Structure 1
Amino acid sequence: MQIVKQSALALFLAVFSLTVSAHPHSFISLKTDLVTDGTHLSGLKMRWTMDEITSADLLYDAGNARPGDEIWKKLAAEVMANVLGQHYFTEFWHDGKKVKFLNRPTEYGMSREGHQAVLTFILPLAEPQLLAGQKYTFSTFDPTYYVDMSYAEDGDAHLPAALQKNCKIAVHTPKPSEETLNFAVSLDKADAPPEDMELGKQFAQQVTLQCQ
């Protein structure tokens, strides 16, 4: 096994003390809203809720900070810089081609929800995309599968009221082969899958947006 070059996000978020051997080691629950004017899609409003162990270091640094305190802005900027370094951990597709993103989010922030850290941001598309008659797909994942990033419920990829008459959105969860599952279980924190294997992509949920 090659020595891991852990994902930038996982490296920043926490110093893990777990002895668990299987990938993934960190978990992020996703929620996504579409940013739209009713005719075009201009971005994805994302909410990432990190598991308690992943959140521990961030919340320790935040201490008893209240919402809006400067420390939250600092933490959000640091985490967001790493997310940007990985192209938002997101791929967006239309007609078999990747749709480009702007290099910076239009807004972002960090907050506390109980014992969990929550990152929110708007991922802006480089160009607004026409909705009528179009189909789009997008996925959010860590390529190494060090971090599991997933939607707990289908409704966590949310279709706004303005689009509900003419569009449908669905979350598709893959079923990796037993061989892939066993390989993921065999990896420990010092191991990384081969880059061309795209392990995380094999576990990534795919969201489909289809409009009439």
Structure 2
Amino acid sequence: MCNRIALFALSTALFSPMALAHPHSFITLVTTVIAENDQLTGLKMQWTMDEITSADLLYDAGNAKPDSPVWKKLAAEVMANVLGQHYFTEFWHNGQKVTFDNLPPQYGLARVGHQAVLTFILPLAHPQPLKGQTYQFATFDPTYFVDMSYDHNSDAKLPETLAKQCKISVKTPKPTEDMQAFALSLDKADAPPEDMELGKQFAQQVIVQCQ
């Protein structure tokens, strides 16, 4: 996640019973496929941060109204860091990575109760055909410092226009006991080897299949 959120999570982790284990921060995902003219053009994403991670952002926002420049500035800061990590998302078609446009057409940050909620559109660099195709994508923090996951399989959605043509499913991985033990052994300041892709081992895969 963005540096300011990660740093805050690091400091608060000291007071958590999970301080000596990854992950230290949690983001709940809701994703809707976007399609136009029988082509897949992007993903509409909603990321709800846990209350501890949210606290830093909500403190900075203070009592600012939803349309205040304060929220717009915070949203821009968070979004810039998300873009720096390629939306924390990988998207695949026929074994090849699908690239993204680095300028989201829409994004925003809001307060929902005691949580910060980031919403944005992840645009594909090029529209992808839907008919007879299968796509797979996952959203995750490679270091697994932040757990990014769907609470319910139904939180990965299709628009009504694709309901008859396509189906969507969420595949939750089952990491080995050794992998789980390794994640639990990591201190808040530890980082797993980059080539290990620890976060990917725990990442849910969303599969879109169209007729």
Q: TM-score, normalised by structure 1?
A: 0.94
Which residue in 2 is equivalent to 1:5? none
> Residue type matched to 1:111 in 2?
A
- 3-state DSSP class of the match of 2:13? coil
Change (3 A) 1:10 1:76: closer
The question of 1:17 aligning with 2:16 is answered no
> Residue type matched to 1:12 in 2?
R
Cα distance, 1:18 vs structure 2? 2.1
Query: Does the aligned pair in 2 maintain the 1:10–1:147 contact within 8 Å?
Result: no
Q: Distance in 2 between the 1:34 and 1:144 partners?
A: 26
Query: Does the aligned pair in 1 maintain the 2:2–2:78 contact within 8 Å?
Result: no
Q: Distance in 1 between the 2:2 and 2:94 partners?
A: 32
Which residue in 2 is equivalent to 1:196? 195
Q: Distance in 1 between the 2:122 and 2:134 partners?
A: 19
Cα distance, 1:159 vs structure 2? 1.1
Query: Does the aligned pair in 1 maintain the 2:61–2:71 contact within 8 Å?
Result: yes
The 5-angstrom pairing of residues 53-202 of structure 1 reads 53-202=52-201
Q: Distance in 1 between the 2:197 and 2:190 partners?
A: 14
User: Any runs of at least 4 consecutive aligned residues in structure 1 with deviations exceeding 3 A, and if so which?
Assistant: none
> Residue type matched to 1:200 in 2?
G
Which residue in 2 is equivalent to 1:3? none
Q: Distance in 2 between the 1:103 and 1:142 partners?
A: 18
Q: TM-score, normalised by structure 2?
A: 0.95
Query: Does the aligned pair in 1 maintain the 2:100–2:125 contact within 8 Å?
Result: yes
Cα distance, 1:28 vs structure 2? 0.2
Cα distance, 1:10 vs structure 2? 4.8
Q: Distance in 1 between the 2:4 and 2:135 partners?
A: 31
Identity %: 68
Query: Does the aligned pair in 1 maintain the 2:25–2:147 contact within 8 Å?
Result: yes
Query: Does the aligned pair in 2 maintain the 1:101–1:123 contact within 8 Å?
Result: yes
- 3-state DSSP class of the match of 1:17? helix
- 3-state DSSP class of the match of 2:164? coil
Q: Distance in 1 between the 2:166 and 2:200 partners?
A: 26
Which residue in 2 is equivalent to 1:210? 209
- 3-state DSSP class of the match of 1:78? helix
Q: Distance in 1 between the 2:188 and 2:39 partners?
A: 42
Query: Does the aligned pair in 2 maintain the 1:138–1:208 contact within 8 Å?
Result: yes
> Residue type matched to 1:77 in 2?
A
Q: Distance in 2 between the 1:52 and 1:107 partners?
A: 24
Q: Distance in 2 between the 1:112 and 1:188 partners?
A: 30
> Pairwise CA RMSD of aligned residues?
0.9
- 3-state DSSP class of the match of 1:191? coil
Query: Does the aligned pair in 2 maintain the 1:10–1:146 contact within 8 Å?
Result: no
> Residue type matched to 2:71 in 1?
W
Count of aligned pairs between the two proteins: 204
